[in-house]
Amino acid sequence: MGSIEGSIAVIQGRPMESKQPLAIITGGGRGIGREISIRLASEGYKILLTYNNDSISAEETVDVIRKGGIDAVALKVDCSNSSEILLLSEHPWCDEGLDVLILNHGYYERTPSSDLSESDLRKTLEINFFGAFGVWNTLKNNLNYNSRIVVIGSQLGIKGSSHGADYSASKAALQVWARSLAQDVGKSGMRVNIIAPGYIDTAILAGDSKEKREKRESEVPLGRIGTPSEIAGVVAFLCGNDSSYVTGAIIHVNGGLFLP
């Protein structure tokens, strides 16, 4: 984990300002979201991260960021609850305008596709797809010109999964919606991109046996599981000036595991 420098980032298409740019990261307290929060803070963004259940990890992430001289706050937001999303939009920082929105939260339970119930499917869609849409729809009027939106999708949203049809369906819907949004908002200067991770060392893989872990690694051409910081690095690229002509893209970060 690198140190956080209190530098002020230059926002694409806007002059240097005295105020810090703001990034909101849903599910930003642990796993991939934690590393994204810390990385964007190192790029000079003030961080507003959300969590649903794990307040301890969220506050620990905030403490790490603040120790680096950057302001950060964690808010309890269930992204499937429109009332809680509304409270997020009413945070005073949002009045200053939002420069980066990272839609990272997610829900995943392994269920054989043939055993999937309608209620299981609706629950996953409600959190992963409608929750992300709800956050965007509620915050869209707070987004500054030339703001950047990054959606954390999944390779499973393209290739499917025998034990996660609901998750795959939710990520497929999310990714196609984000690409459609990119086409619509491009003329306003906004850019929308998607990252589709492969095997990443997060809580989803925490229950793997040693044998299962080794099998996963053997499936990846690069021979290892990815790290959350490697996803965060791609997020930083998509939020920076070097990606100024990139929008509507699905970037696969999977060590060569899946080559669509």
User: What pLDDT was estimated at residue 217?
Assistant: 96
Residue pair 145/189 in contact (Cβ under 8 Å)? The answer is yes
Amino acid letter for position 61: T
**pLDDT digit string (tens) for 206-217?**
888 999 999 999
Number of separate domains in the chain: 1
Residue 84 burial (C-beta neighbours within 10 Å; 0-12, 13-18, 19+): middle
Return the pLDDT at 152. Answer: 98
**What pLDDT, on the 0 to 100 scale, is given for residue 19?**
77
Task: Establish if 226 belongs to a structural domain.
Answer: yes
> Catalytic site residues?
167
Please give the pLDDT value at position 205. 86
**Structure confidence at residue 4 (pLDDT):** 41
Gap between the Cα atoms of 237 and 150, Å rounded: 10
Confirm whether 14 is domain-assigned. Answer: no
CATH number at residue 204: 3.40.50.720
Collapsed DSSP state (helix, strand, coil) of residue 91:
coil
Q: What is the predicted pLDDT for the residue at 206?
A: 84
pTM for the model: 0.91
| 87 is a domain residue | yes
User: Is residue 242 in some structural domain?
Assistant: yes
pLDDT for 15: 39
Give domain status of residue 46, yes or no: yes
Average pLDDT per consecutive 10 residues, the chain (260 residues; last block may be shorter): 35 47 98 98 97 96 97 97 96 95 94 92 97 97 96 96 93 98 96 97 88 95 97 98 98 96
pLDDT tens digit string along 33-91? Answer: 999 999 999 999 999 999 999 999 999 999 999 999 999 999 999 999 999 999 999 99
| Range(s) of the domain holding residue 108 | 22-252
Is residue 10 in some structural domain?
no
Q: Distance (Å, rounded) from C-alpha 85 to C-alpha 121?
A: 22
Q: Is residue 11 part of a domain?
A: no
